[in-house]
Amino acid sequence: MDRWEFEENPPGYNTGLMNYRELEDTRPREDAICKDVGASINAEVGFRPDGARVYVKDVDDLENDTVQSHIAADIYNDHIPFLTPEIAYDEVYGKILVEEMPGEFSDDYGEMDQRSLHGAIAQKLLLGDCDYAGNFLATGNQVVPIDHDMTGRDLVTTKKAVNTWLEDGPDEDLLYREATKLAEQIDIRALEQDLRDERNLMNSWSSREEIRDPEPRDGLFHGSIENIIDNVRAFK
Ligand SMILES: Nc1ncnc2c1ncn2[C@@H]1O[C@H](COP(=O)(O)OP(=O)(O)OP(=O)(O)O)[C@@H](O)[C@H]1O
Ligand SMILES: [Mg+2]
């Protein structure tokens, strides 16, 4: 493996807080999703100076604006009272860094604690995050959402993604309760301010218009910040 030369404060996002070292190539991944897709875009694991494991996405392999999508998710995560991963972006090496979360990947959602699962779905719903399949880690009664490739969609689009992904659909009452509980704990004005002030979210928007189909994997677009704010407000 190449040796990585890290600057003291590399350009990017949160790199001062979360730099990493000693990348480990975990290819090939053995899980089902990886096999379906035929390749993994998340095949390296690095280490933070404190020893925490950091999942690494190579941006070169990704669609436009996946970086902005993750940065918006990180800002949103700072405004919610749940366990969430620290996220950074290394501009020099083109890598999105995501702190490891506890729990195991499972696609048996019926086995998970339903309140926690619906809380985790609500977390993605308010963020306008359409990337649900295989993107929850569960341990005991705690479910943590990961993988924020596609955020900032409106509620209609995001809800459609939830329904597509959950075979029998979510428990609507439970999801509504969890989403309302979450929205009540978010300071909308502070969240909006932080999203609007973030240098990385000001430029380089996707030129694509919003597509009301949860499948295309583009990142943020004009209107994404408004969507996130509107999604939260809808449950206040
Ligand atoms: N923060 C994290 N903590 C623990 N495990 C993680 C984390 N991020 C990723 N992983 C592991 O790596 C796998 C792939 O990560 P992720 O879903 O972010 O990448 P992806 O390639 O976009 O996946 P896909 O396109 O298959 O949804 C996860 O299913 C999980 O097993
Ligand atoms: Mg994933």
pTM: 0.88
pLDDT at 204: 44
Give phi and psi for 192, each to the nearest 5: -60, -45
Distances (CA, A) of 13 to 31, 123, 130, 158: 30, 22, 23, 26
Return mean pLDDT, the chain: 83
* Mean pLDDT (whole number) for 201-225: 57
Q: What's the CA-to-centroid distance between 147 and ligand 2, angstroms?
A: 5
Distances (CA, A) of 229 to 82, 152, 157: 18, 9, 15
Quick check: 233 pLDDT over 70? yes
Q: What's the CA-to-centroid distance between 40 and ligand 2, angstroms?
A: 9
Residues with CB under 5 A from ligand 2 (ion): 135, 147
109 vs 183 pLDDT, higher one? 183
- The helix or strand, by DSSP H or E, that contains position 131, with its residue range, turns out to be none
Tell me the β-bridge partners of 47: 21, 53
CA gyration radius, the chain: 17
* Mean pLDDT (whole number) for 201-209: 56
Quick check: 27 pLDDT over 80? no
- Can you tell me whether residue 200 is helix, strand or coil? helix
**Of 116, 60, 68, 119, which is closest to residue 89 (Cα–Cα)?**
68
Using most ligand atoms within 8 A of CB, pick from 26, 30, 45, 55 the residue to mutate for ligand 1: 55
Q: Compute CA 223 distance to the chain's CA centroid, rounded to the nearest angstrom.
A: 18
Question: Which residue puts its alpha carbon closest to atom 2 of ligand 1?
Answer: 100
* Mean pLDDT (whole number) for 77-96: 93
- The helix or strand, by DSSP H or E, that contains position 211, with its residue range, turns out to be none
Give the domain ranges of the chain: 12-234
pLDDT tens digits, residue range 88-134? 999 888 889 999 999 998 888 899 999 999 999 999 999 999 988 88
